[in-house]
Structure 1
Amino acid sequence: MTNPESAGSDYDVVISGASLAGSAAAILLARRGVRVALLERRSDPDAYKVLCTHSITANAYPVLDGLGLVPALEEAGAVRNEARWYTRWGWIEPKAAPGGPALPYAYNVRRSTLDPLIRSRAARTPGVDLLLGHQVTGLVEEGGRIAGVRASTPRGEREIRARLVIGADGKDSAVAKLAGVPARQYENERFGYLAHFRDLPLPGGIGQTWFLEPDMAYAFPNDDGVTVLAVLPAKKRLPAFREDLEGSFLSFVRALPEAPPVDSAERITKIVGTVNYPLVSRDPTAPGLALIGDAALTGDPLWGVGCGWALQSAHWLAEAVAPAVTGRGDLDRSLARYARRHRRRLSGHQFLSVDYAKARPFNPGERLMFSAAARDASMARHLYLFGSRLLGPMRFLNPVALAKAVAVNLRHRGPAAPVAFPAGAGAGAGAAADRGANAPGSGSGPEAG
């Protein structure tokens, strides 16, 4: 780690935010010969993000592997994130095909483990100067483009110039705001609370997610025998939660189908959460500027995609701009290439998430795919690959998959099995189930999965 006061003031790249996205970008750029200043507003090298799903989806495994973090995560006890999902049609339990390859995975791991691990890896990477206690307060501009940052440090104000400034500073990105990059916000009609428990057994020892239409919940096993348990109810239930947070949280969990035995487990953290978590999208580039992670795109936390997208966007940016920021290419063209890839890979997923964040029951297309996945092993694998963000929306909803889902459901014609929902959670879902396959749904049919 470089002492902030002894570090040079000129770099190829300045990154604001030394959490997951920023640290990954710093490592990947420095390996390509880029001189990186990695700024972190907090002074504690072990600082970490508290409000998180603590899960990395399988789409990001290649990035973890490329960073050399897989052995360290395994040694730290990170849990390979298998999953099963509850629906009104029963449990969806993805399994590898007989004789086929194992299902792809990444990890469930607490940010208190993950963030210091990747930050220390960045600090040890030649070419990276980790500057703790550096908070960006302004941007340096030259000739209509961003050319550096001004930062508040323990020793006063400091200017750091670079060919490229990267905002990796979260959904409320100060860098994006200072650059005047507009944010498109979409209301999330769910709120969320989570807590960490020890000695909370889960069936099969794997993650559980409950689609209660419109309410949601999940339980993910993490490192050191700790399970993250989260509830994401529709906002109509917020007044009751505000009156008695702990009682409402526990009552919600107890009413889940195959509920985790929360009363016999040890809660080791406070119940924390947020009542307003909009989905945010920004243009990922501007002249001299790139945004990665939540600064560019903040997804709905119920899908657990934030960590995976943070790692992927860091990787895409490093691949696109590394030659240009060292003077061996056109930076604006490189940024445009990153922006195109970012939009192509993530905008479809975000569109569907925005629609489902309206806290509605499943629409007809979702009912088709989820019910088929509960009844057929190959459809369960197909849904698992989409949930892991290894398939885009068009491949998930391709004609062959839709035709197979129809065929599966035709073979299982009959009334839906009765479903128990937490009190007040299932009114919309129960009514939709009673109406059957011809029920109207909000959104855009099968495109809104």
Structure 2
Amino acid sequence: MQVTETLSDGLKRGYSFTLPGKVLDETVTRKLTEAQPEVEIKGFRKGKVPMAMLKKQFGQRMMGDALQESIDTALREHLEQTGHRPALQPNIEMANGESWKEGDDVVVNVSYETLPEIPEADLSDLTLERLVVPAEDSAVDEALGSLAANAKSYEDRAEGEAAQNDDQVTIDFEGSIDGTPFEGGTAEGYPLVLGSGSFIPGFEEQLIGAKVGDERDVTVSFPAEYGAPHLAGKEAVFKTKIHAVKSGKAAEIDDELAKRYGAEDLDALKAQVSERIGAEYQGASRAILKRALLDQLDKRFSFDLPPTLVEAEAEQIAHQLWHEEHPEEHGHNHGQIETSDEHRKLAERRVRLGLLLADIGQKAGVTISDQEMTQAVMQQARNFPGQERAFFEYIQNTPQAAQQLRAPLFEDKVVDHIVSGAKVTDKTVTKAELEAAIAALDEA
């Protein structure tokens, strides 16, 4: 095989591979010889089919297999010799495909972008600050108050008292559009908490001030992006009757409340709440520490980046941000989304850090165990109640989806590895200071 370099521009590489026709013919003959003992054709006993007939019957298909095998072997040997690591699957094209005939040499053009050489990472002088927030009694009390509010009970207001915001009203209603009732617009004895936002915008507000026995016509317009197209954007009138008006009463913070949330007693519930708050603080603190680490790495290291990887990442960033700005669009029939300099700058940072962390992790022997992967799959499967088994099978059968789960696990373990060797100082801060630091991350 003859290899000629045709392109060397930064990380871009191009080569012309010449595969001798004689070698391809020999490969076809070898494959047919290996298969001959099992071949049976009418008029010949099994294993006795002449080679000439085998070539006539199967030669074309075998040539395709031989060509693919030869290209794969040639490319593998080339990459081993050069030490190149393609950033993406190499592009392979036959240069003489239309004019090629059996016996001719095959000329194949191969092009790819190679991954860059990553500079040695001496991180022994890294200094980081870790924010520490104690789970204060006030935070625990606030969380207990929220639990008590969520466990509130409702009691009838005094006779003749009007409904207020946060009250629960029991209602019958019948909705119609242009005088015609519509499916799903009728209910009896429905308990509705005013101000909960569970009904169409404007509905609950019109029931404030209502009393038991009142009948009201509530006029609202369905949102333009409403899930039912036949109702979206249309004005509806709901004939509503009030059967009960109840005020909410938060549950007492006591052992009974604790038992409602599965704890043995109030002390046990407080311990659980304190542990949960502590875990939330630690998670937020770790996010801040990780950003600080990545910022330092981004400033320290500079190397060439594969243009295709950067462009693909920029397109993904632009696509994600566009959907965040247009939450009403759930599909992808929105045409081409242009990438900006800001998208490309962020893409360069992500690609650079991704390649750097991958290199550090590989040299440090960081791996993801089967147990860690299984835990990650189980955690994601909880987002698909009733379809957990199907999700497991999807991950097992879709390497790309499995890699999307594995990548953040690997990154986090590499970050932990780097942090373990850095000089880390703890700084005690308040909850408000921690929240401010988190907010600053979102703005950056």
Larger gyration radius, structure 1 or structure 2: 2
- TM-score tier after normalising by the smaller chain length: under 0.3
Higher relative contact order (CA 8 A, sep 6+): 1
Superposition TM-score, scaled by structure 2 size: 0.21
Task: Select the structure that is richer in helix.
Answer: 2
